[in-house]
Amino acid sequence: MTNPNSRTEQEIHKVFDITLLLKGLHASLEVLGGIALYAVSAGGILNLANALFGGEIGEDPHDPIANYLLGLAQTFGANDRSFAAFYLLTHGIANGLIVIALWREEIWAYPISFAVLGSFIVYQLYLLTLGFSWWIVAITVLDAAIVALVWHEYGVLKTRRAATRG
């Protein structure tokens, strides 16, 4: 069994804390994005996209990124907006609650985080089968790294708690 106070374990715990911080920031951005999507109309999204990318397309009509994002905004209907807002809110709130509970070292949060993050990973992998997205890849990799670190921290926490009892 590994010594929870060893230098290696302390370094792994620092990485765990950093990933929790990143996941917490990401969760906050998702909640804010979900609220914004509920609050802004499809026309407002199109106006924002035109303001952001219209000038770039005027300078370079063949800019693939600007054209893609503007086209995405043009086809972003009410159903898409509602689903995206719902997904961002649920994903953000669930991850935010998990981050808080893990930061507080709530023992019950570790198994729950495996189930919740595992479900999100499976869903995100499904989304990748429908169409490639670097954002989904990045979120999935972060979630998988957090699951591995949570698994490790869960073992360390159980060892530490067993040692203080015994």
Domain residue extents for the chain: 7-37+83-160
Predicted pLDDT of residue 129: 93
Give the CA distances from residue 106 to residues 74, 77, 145, 150, in Å, rounded to whole numbers and listed in that order: 45, 41, 20, 12
Mean pLDDT across the chain: 86
Statement: residue 166 has pLDDT above 70: no
Tell me the pLDDT tens digit for each residue of 78-132: 667 788 889 889 989 998 999 999 999 999 999 999 999 899 899 999 999 999 8
What's the helix, strand, coil split of the chain in %, to 5? 85, 0, 15
Rounded-to-integer distance, Cα 134 and Cα 3, Å: 38
Task: Show the tokens assigned to 39.
Answer: 């609050």
Longest dimension (CA), the chain: 71
Q: Is the pTM higher than 0.75?
A: no
Span 20-43, average pLDDT: 89
